[in-house]
Structure 1
């Protein structure tokens, strides 16, 4: 494997976890945003996290969650990372990181160059940055909409923290996305589904194979 790491987000069943592991994903995402077709409750998430093999990073996805919600999630689910996917400020990211003692990944929506300064702002307080497509105005979901953005906006860029490319990635386009951006990590949700919230094991395998087939040589590994 060439060092590209894959996160499959929005897993809902034991079969999803097994398929992600078999495909070679390094991260799984458990979605707690109730409006998402990929959402799970705390007890389901706990059961899924306990099925993950050793070494797989288990990530919770929340959207503008308050402390009470995060307390309930972290108390029950054995997590390795918290993903904040809402309008959390840099101060809130720092607060969550300090309160729970877990690495925090902050999602930042990108549609134009005007959005890029936020990536630097959040890299000062988060452990990782998820560079996602900005949700269209009026969208019910902040991510997972299956929409890519112009990858040239982040091509060859580096920030203070490791970053992960997301937004409309599929088995058919992820190789090109990796080639163009030199992303060392990629995230997928809807791109490996047969219907909203229904993961497809064959597409997971195809996605991981495509993502890891085209990475450019000589890029330093993530710290």
Structure 2
């Protein structure tokens, strides 16, 4: 059986104040902003900056980038103070970004089966999520659910996070099966794409944390 500790919770894809405030109020550990224009949760650096000031110091902020250039990241950091950079890129590129910007970097790691699971972590954390469909227009945030059973015997010695298709009514089961030390949700706490539901945020955080204490 997995050994549980406190479960970290990341709410990703914030676009508006009500959702952001709910994340802070209900104790999310990380609040994520998507800087990828094809996402329905895309925000500009200026929008992210306006939101981050609402909960300064009460939750860590994460910026999500897809195959970014250094200029892409620098442009965002000129406006928005981010604590973590989460990127879709190669392991080599992720390591380079960490060196250039001096911030913790999380590498999104889409998988299709146990053979795809990473054996090491080139940066501060990896996010395990389902590999997107071939016709997907974005690498993540597609509300796909991972086959959690593929993680039941996986025991990495580095920090990681579970993402993909998590919701209020399944996050506890996901934590129990996978032993995930942290979870990431976006569409699972929304009333519409990019619009977070405060009640769902509260329930998701509560259910995740209760699973960690079970």
TM-score range, shorter chain: over 0.9
2:128 and 2:160 in contact (8 A); partners too: yes
Q: Displaced runs of 4+ in structure 1, greater than 3 A?
A: none
Structure 1: 5+ residue stretches without partners: 218-223
Task: Specify the alignment match of 2:203 in structure 1.
Answer: 206
- What does residue range 155-174 of structure 1 map to in structure 2 within 5 Å? 155-174=152-171
RMSD value, Cα? 1.3
Note the alpha carbon deviations across 1:50-106, whole angstroms, 9 max, x for none. 22241411000010111111111122211110000x2x1111111100000000000
2:85 and 2:105 in contact (8 A); partners too: yes
Structure 2: 5+ residue stretches without partners: none
In structure 2, C-alpha distance between the alignment counterparts of 1:160 and 1:81, rounded to whole Å: 20
- What does residue range 59-70 of structure 1 map to in structure 2 within 5 Å? 59-70=62-73
1:50 and 1:78 in contact (8 A); partners too: no
In structure 2, C-alpha distance between the alignment counterparts of 1:105 and 1:144, rounded to whole Å: 16
In structure 2, C-alpha distance between the alignment counterparts of 1:216 and 1:171, rounded to whole Å: 16
Task: Specify the alignment match of 2:74 in structure 1.
Answer: 71
Larger relative contact order (Cα-Cα within 8 Å, sequence gap ≥ 6): 2
State the secondary structure of the residue aligned to 2:199: helix
TM-score normalised over the length of structure 2: 0.94
